[in-house]
Amino acid sequence: MVKTADVVIIGGGISGVAIAYNLAKKGIKDVVVIEKNYLASGATGRCGAGIRQQWGTEMNCRMSKYSCEAFETLKEDLDYDGDIEFKQGGYLIISSTEKEHEQFKKNIALQNSLGIQSKLLTLDEAKEVVPFLNTDGLISATFHQKDGHLNPFHTTQAYAEAAKRLGAQIHTFTEVTDIIVENGKIKGVKTNRGDIATNVVVNAAGGYSQLIGNMVGLELPVFSERHQILVTEAVEPILDPMVMSFSLNLYCQQVPHGGFIMGRGDEGEPRDLRITSGWHFVEEMTKTITRVLPPLKNVRFLRQWAGLYNITPDRQPIYGPVDEVEGFYLAIGFSGHGFMLAPATGIVIAESIIGEKTTLPIDMLHINRFKEGNLIFEPSVV
């Protein structure tokens, strides 16, 4: 175990390894990632891994556009031997209330103004994208061909291997148990395998980010909530895009091995760290998805699991340093869309630590926005 580091990153999910890669690429020598389990064992390896640029706030549109373009060449850029399975089959997002339809019009105008070529579709046009879509009770849809999904394990591995080749160290099955702060400055971390002296710590601990904040005496404006997801048996390819609805609270995609992966957020989930599975989710999920995509009635579901969303009040992430503790940085609060933002997260957090101008402006994602009441709410979330 190392004794000193330039930067210690807590969390070996997609955010932690993307930040490590970018820091190492920028020449920071001693970058250390500490992961209490195995890589991608948190939300990253449990997520739907969908990538969309169809958002309702400027920051989410800009970060996801940047990230989506980065995913297009990521395998080559990271010189990865495996397959990150990036498929741009599009996202078909359906509306089932007038309010949602009105929001879609605003979303499309915003997205188009930022160079995202999304379209508002009639229901007939939506059926051209997914012929077996049941449009009863639906009003309209939006579609963007360049959205899609990837394999979250391979993508994490790709970043981790590239970071290691550039000199970063990754310690799995190692837990950060405390953070040493002296006179308001980071001095090191304590782990169950020894202490590491450092002046910079990045909190990339996903659902556990509050516990890490507490280690430096902060109460962070985030909470964690269980989100469940299931996979079916593999069948022949019939569904190209991700189908998503905010008002029906669902998303569903067919992944390359042929299974359908689908999820929803259950109403009234407590704010805690449970990742157990519940029967209610299966009932609601299967009832709703077979109404929207009837052929799925004939497909058997194989298994379910759960992971943690780390959620902010405005459903946008928190990036950058904190005023109270010098050397403590945040990459947290992804509110259910942190996988798709990883390329943006990696670059802007690395630049922020080094003190460079960030590739995308991240001022409005600083933690101080909560104190200042300067919030822009993301409306388009599941």
Q: Which residues bind ligand FAD (CB under 6 A)?
A: 10-16, 34-37, 41-44, 46-50, 175-176, 204-208, 227, 229, 263, 307-309, 334, 336-340
Looking at the Cβ atoms of 255 and 299, the one nearer to ligand FAD is 255
Looking at the Cβ atoms of 292 and 306, the one nearer to ligand FAD is 306
Looking at the Cβ atoms of 6 and 175, the one nearer to ligand FAD is 175
Residue type, 50: G
Smallest distance from the beta carbon of 64 to ligand FAD, in angstroms? 8
Smallest distance from the beta carbon of 136 to ligand FAD, in angstroms? 26
Looking at the Cβ atoms of 317 and 321, the one nearer to ligand FAD is 317
DSSP tag of 240 = -
Looking at the Cβ atoms of 50 and 241, the one nearer to ligand FAD is 50
End-to-end CA, the chain: 40
Q: Cα separation of 116 and 373, whole Å?
A: 29
In the sheet that holds 223-232, the strands lie side by side as: 119-121, 140-144, 91-95, 242-245, 250-254, 260-264, 223-232, 301-311
Looking at the Cβ atoms of 44 and 254, the one nearer to ligand FAD is 44
Phi and psi at residue 187, in whole multiples of 5°? -120, -20
Smallest distance from the beta carbon of 35 to ligand FAD, in angstroms? 5
Rg of the Cα atoms in the chain: 20
Cβ within 8 Å of residue 262, ≥6 positions away: 48, 229, 230, 232, 250, 251, 252, 253, 285, 289
Smallest distance from the beta carbon of 229 to ligand FAD, in angstroms? 4
Smallest distance from the beta carbon of 176 to ligand FAD, in angstroms? 4
Looking at the Cβ atoms of 320 and 336, the one nearer to ligand FAD is 336
Smallest distance from the beta carbon of 262 to ligand FAD, in angstroms? 10
- Which residue blocks in the chain are alpha helix, DSSP H? 14-25, 58-72, 74-77, 98-113, 123-129, 152-165, 209-215, 279-292, 342-354, 368-372
Burial 145-162 (b: 16+ CB within 10 A, else e): ebbbbbbbbbbbbbbbbb
Q: Cα separation of 347 and 18, whole Å?
A: 8
Smallest distance from the beta carbon of 211 to ligand FAD, in angstroms? 6
Smallest distance from the beta carbon of 377 to ligand FAD, in angstroms? 18
Looking at the Cβ atoms of 293 and 382, the one nearer to ligand FAD is 382
* Half-sphere exposure for 308 (CA within 13 Å, toward CB): 24
Cβ 321 vs Cβ 29: under 8 Å: no
Q: Cα separation of 210 and 369, whole Å?
A: 17
User: What is the residue whose two structure tokens read 């958002």?
Assistant: 55
